[in-house]
Copies of this chain bind each other. A is one copy, B any other.
């Protein structure tokens, strides 16, 4: 186990990010998260992200080969298909699958921040997953908790 330096929990910075999705699929927001940390003058601590919806979710996945996202979309469609006898269908056939896909992937993320940088692995990117068929405007609350950049 390799220890990093202890830091004081100085402050919490918060911001709300709006993303317009193109309908079902993934939108990366790693760059926006980095901009948020830079603007907040973040040192070391933790980044939190939270999406304020029940038919869109957040996840960390490979940002190299776009085929991975294609397959992740296929996987979610198979796990939570349309026309599967859902009771709740007032908003259309894509509505209840969107809730199930959100349940399976979750609405929040946390990522360590070391010396102002996201401690992501080489292939990890932050994604908003839109589970509805049509475009939507989605709100993500970003928060940094930690030390001030020195």
User: Which residue numbers of A lie inside 8 Å of B, CB to CB?
Assistant: 1-18, 32, 35-36, 39-40, 44-46, 48, 50-54, 59-62, 65, 67-68, 70-72, 74-75, 78-80, 84-88, 90, 96, 99-100, 102-112, 114, 119-124, 139, 141-143, 145-147
Contacts and interface: CB of A to CB of B under 8 A. Distances in A.
B99 A68 contact: yes
Given A6-B14, A68-B88, A72-B100, 11 more contacts: A2-B16, A3-B15, A6-B11, A46-B145, A48-B112, A51-B121, A52-B124, A53-B121, A54-B124, A71-B88, A108-B110
Majority secondary structure, A binding face: mixed
B112 A100 contact: no
